[in-house]
Structure 1
């Protein structure tokens, strides 16, 4: 918007702009003001607002700022100019220096963001996946917490996980199945833990799928066991691989987490995950589990 406004003023009133910055108002300077300044600023403003190759247009603005500073330097250095002209040129130079700093910063930020996405670390159009779910398990809080706190237990009920290996007190390596037969691996660290209350964690290093999560354990009303609430965030990388990994939790991420929690409930209440012989991983098992508390299916 600054480019559009300044460019319009330079095209429409080049004489006033010359006097404002301390330059001589003659036909030559009016042409410079109108075409080297106004037309350039308008082109940059339109290009930036079009959101097409914005970084290039911002660098074009920086180049234009350098040209403006050069012209203002010539005004300051001309011994024929009056003190009033030099004061105006000095004020204009200070203003252009501020604009130049803002343009350089914006151009660098956009350029860095573009390089980050091209290297597979940005969003690249793949939105963050968020999933929430909760369930009541008929077991004491201490028992439920202790089972989850041993992260190596997680693959027993989280279907996409293949393994979790403890690397230290609060650090672990996770391996998961991904679409098209792919596997992904990352390291995670526990960021907060309160015994029998909550655990939170996040991926560390250059994880292919940046993720974080938390799980809370609270006593269920009426002494009915433990309420478990899970909240997960995943940010897949850019590109086609990222789009495929975004499907790690399927079309409805919350449904996948709810299924994992039902299996968690089964493991703690019955000691095993119940599956249907006809449909070991499919919707029939989900419907049965959704209809009643976890228990072994009849033979």
Structure 2
């Protein structure tokens, strides 16, 4: 049972799951690589490794606000990883990634539970919803990005690419 599930006072604000056709050991190792977090959470925050299993996060908020925090990641077991924010976090959060064998020898099922505590309590939650900062979508997108990285070694981008000819314009 994960920390998120075992604490009666803590309910995950966001949950997502996905199946990836790779062994849990490979996915565990990929999640812990320093560059992985910055790549899979790029849609939400800039993540920079600052120490062994420690990262600094910077997320853009409503009205140009910027929120910062540091996290510490722990390998609880070969099938479970967790993280939590360190002291003085602008957005306290914690998460658990659990890996289980997928039925029919189809790889690994990943379950990601994350709890975000936006600044300002009820007001912060209202602002988050108003500006469409939805924890469930943040977590779901991170898992989809992780799956792409695990299966192909890259994360597809859909943002516009400038044309290569004539300084970015076609004539």
TM value normalised by structure 2: 0.73
Provide the residue aligned with 1:137 in structure 2: 20
Work out the CA distance in 2 between the residues paired with 1:155 and 1:223.
30
Work out the CA distance in 2 between the residues paired with 1:244 and 1:251.
10
Cα offset, 1:221, TM superposition:
1.6
Provide the residue aligned with 1:265 in structure 2: 147
1:146-201: per-residue Cα shift (whole Å, max 9, x none)?
1112254112122112123132x3433222232333322112223x4234311111
Cα offset, 1:244, TM superposition:
7.2
Partner SS, residue 255 of structure 1: helix
- Name the Cα RMSD after superposition: 3.0
* Within-5 A mapping of 1:139-288: 139-158=22-41, 159-167=43-51, 169-190=52-73, 192-238=74-120, 242-243=124-125, 246-247=128-129, 250=132, 252-276=134-158
Work out the CA distance in 2 between the residues paired with 1:148 and 1:259.
15
Change (3 A) 1:240 1:234: closer
Work out the CA distance in 2 between the residues paired with 1:222 and 1:259.
25
Cα offset, 1:277, TM superposition:
6.1
Change (3 A) 1:174 1:275: closer
8 Å Cα contact 1:236-1:245 kept in structure 2: no
Work out the CA distance in 2 between the residues paired with 1:235 and 1:223.
37
Partner SS, residue 257 of structure 1: helix
Partner SS, residue 139 of structure 2: helix
Partner SS, residue 213 of structure 1: strand
Q: Quick check: which has more Rg, 1 or 2? A: 1
Aligned length: 150
For structure 2, the residue ranges without an aligned partner over 5 or more in a row are 1-10, 161-171
8 Å Cα contact 1:266-1:273 kept in structure 2: yes
Cα offset, 1:259, TM superposition:
1.9
8 Å Cα contact 1:157-1:260 kept in structure 2: yes
For structure 1, the residue ranges without an aligned partner over 5 or more in a row are 1-127, 279-299
1:128-156: per-residue Cα shift (whole Å, max 9, x none)?
97100000011121111111122541121
Work out the CA distance in 1 between the residues paired with 2:71 and 2:57.
7
8 Å Cα contact 1:131-1:232 kept in structure 2: yes
Cα offset, 1:217, TM superposition:
1.3
Work out the CA distance in 2 between the residues paired with 1:148 and 1:249.
29
